[in-house]
Amino acid sequence: MKLTLRDSMTFFSRVKGRNGVVRELASILDFNSEYCMILSRDALALGYNEAGIRSKQWQKVHPEMARYVLDFRGIERGVLLTLNEVSLGTMVAEDVETVLVDLDLPRAAPFDLVLGRSFLKHFRFEFDIKRGTLTVDKPSA
């Protein structure tokens, strides 16, 4: 799949959740983020009930599932969960580790999902700066 590099690198990706619901979310690629990040309201709609609990309370009960991530607001505490399936165009990744992000003003960001390295590791990327393209495909076996 070939993408054109531009100022706004927002894409629509499909996410399949725990309850079988599929949602299209505005997404950005972030090669620096260890995990994907999803907003709590979207995770709730996808069947992840733990998204209804603030991460500070969740960390007390399930410390093994709490992660610290660097996002656009600084260092955040989030809940680790696994999305059943995440796809960008024809590229599909299963069992993608994702961190829930509590965001009180969900429209503060122009995207709903950050596609970090937990998603990106499933694919091979090739940048062509002269042509302004990014080619994404499955790595050869």
53-87 tens-digit pLDDT: 665 665 666 666 665 565 555 556 678 889 999 99
Mean pLDDT across the chain, nearest whole number? 80
Q: Tell me which of 54 and 46 has the higher pLDDT.
A: 46
Candidates 31, 45, 40; CA nearest to 114 is 31
Q: Which domain holds residue 120?
A: 2-137
Q: How many domains does the chain have?
A: 1
Q: Which CATH number characterizes residue 83's domain?
A: 2.40.70.10
pTM over 0.85: no
- Conformation bin of residue 67: beta by default, left when phi > 0, alpha when psi is -120 to 50: beta
> Quick one: pLDDT at residue 84?
95
Q: Tell me which of 100 and 8 has the higher pLDDT.
A: 100
- 19 class by beta-carbon count within 10 Å (0-12 exposed, 13-18 middle, 19+ buried): exposed
